[in-house]
Amino acid sequence: MNTKADESPTAPRAVRHSRWRAWREQDAWCRRAGLRALAQRPFGTALTIVVLGFALALPLVFYLLLVNAQRIAGALGESQSISVFLKPEVGARDANTLAAQLRARAGVAQVTLKSPAQGLSELAALQGFGEALHALPDNPLPFVLLVQPQNGSSRDRIAALAADLRAHAGVDLVQDNGAWRARLDTLIALGRRITLLFAGLLAVAALGVVGNTVRLDIRARADEIAVQRLVGASPGFVRLPYLYEGVCYGLLAGVVAVLLLLALEAGLASPVRALVGSYAGQLEFSGLPVTVWVLVPLIAALLGWLGAFFASTRYLLRASLS
């Protein structure tokens, strides 16, 4: 009796080990079956993967353009700054007086005064202007005030500040940089929304492509599936090879999309460097972060799995009802 009591706890452990081993063997067989199905039609498999890769790369291209558009917008000026160009006859004393008055005004965070000499040196630093400026007999640039409103200021308050500056006797021109930046930010937000919608549509298209491909494969192997069900194979076992097939489609398509984006970045590297050099390094371009490169194949694999799951589940439901 004692011997049986000592051996009884090992019995469930042995049963669990046997079930785990059987599950691993079945999973390995299903995985090989899925890969074998892909290898049996290399041209069709490669064509499907390339089409899916291009479909996944398109929203990434739009996202890359949006990211760099935001960087360019930030490099070209402060979003709420106001440039105040004084009249040529306004001297340094009057310019400093106006700057002090604006610094004391409520709602103004910072005022920067640029002299004509500073403006000329900045203009000469830009490519192609140096020799032309040296030929000028005198400096034609006026004093410029860069007025930065406080953070969180509404567009109405900034517009009112710009209107007051235009009414000043010594002001020649007021350029409200916040107006075009607000329009640019709105366009970027619209582009971001369009990119998300576009990515969603292409994700649905990827589901359809993988699902249709798996559906055709299932129909071609209908006799094999019927034999498996006759010998007692469960729906999960019948479905598993096609799930592996869908994951392979998605994962490889994600890798193709990443390679396409890398090739695009490499092809644009030379003109981008030339553009950055023409702006004296003020612009900054960058590629997609590493996390995106890692997430794209994983998300694509998930899409492939979902497409294969829907197609195989629909077939098994119809087969069980017939």
pLDDT tens by residue, 259-301 = 998 888 888 777 777 766 665 555 666 777 888 888 999 999 9
Return the structure tokens found at 232: 């007692």
* C-alpha dihedral sign at 158, 163, 168, 170: positive
pLDDT in the model for residue 1: 45
Joined tokens for residue 267: 């092809």
Residue with tokens 């993988």: 210
**Which residues lie below 8 Å from residue 248, measured CB to CB, with a gap of 6+?**
34, 35, 38, 304
Q: How far apart are CA 92 and CA 99, in angstroms?
A: 10
pLDDT, tens only, 206-258 = 888 888 888 888 887 777 777 877 777 777 778 888 888 889 999 999 999 99
Amino acid identity, residue 257?
A: A
Residue 301 burial (C-beta neighbours within 10 Å; 0-12, 13-18, 19+): buried
Query: Is residue 107 a contact partner of residue 150, using CB atoms and an 8 Å limit?
Result: yes
- Average pLDDT (196-207) is 86
Structure-token pair, residue 198: 């576009």
Residue 175, SS3? strand
Q: How is residue 6 written in tokens?
A: 């000592």
- Copy the structure tokens of residue 50: 């390339």
Give φ, ψ of 83 to 5 degrees: -100, 120
* 102: confidence class by pLDDT, cuts 50, 70, 90: confident
**DSSP letter for each residue of 80-128:** T-EEEEEPTT--HHHHHHHHHHHHTSTTEEEEEEE-HHHHHHHHHHSTT
Question: Backbone phi, then psi, for 84, in 5-degree steps?
Answer: -115, 110
Instruction: Find out whether 246 and 37 touch, Cβ atoms under 8 Å.
Output: no
Cα-trace Rg, the chain: 33
**Which pLDDT score is estimated for 78?**
46
Determine the Cα–Cα distance for residues 194 and 200; give it in Å rounded to an integer: 10
Q: What is the pLDDT of residue 253?
A: 92
Q: DSSP code of 148?
A: E
Summarised one tens digit per residue, pLDDT across range 41-93 is 888 888 889 989 998 888 888 888 877 777 766 655 445 678 888 888 888 88
What's the CA gap between 13 and 147, in Å, rounded? 76
Residue 174's closest CA among 142, 141, 145?
145
pLDDT above 90 coverage of the chain, percent: 7
Q: List domains and CATH numbers for the chain.
A: 30-75+190-321 (no CATH), 82-182 (3.30.70.3040)
Section 133-139 average pLDDT: 63
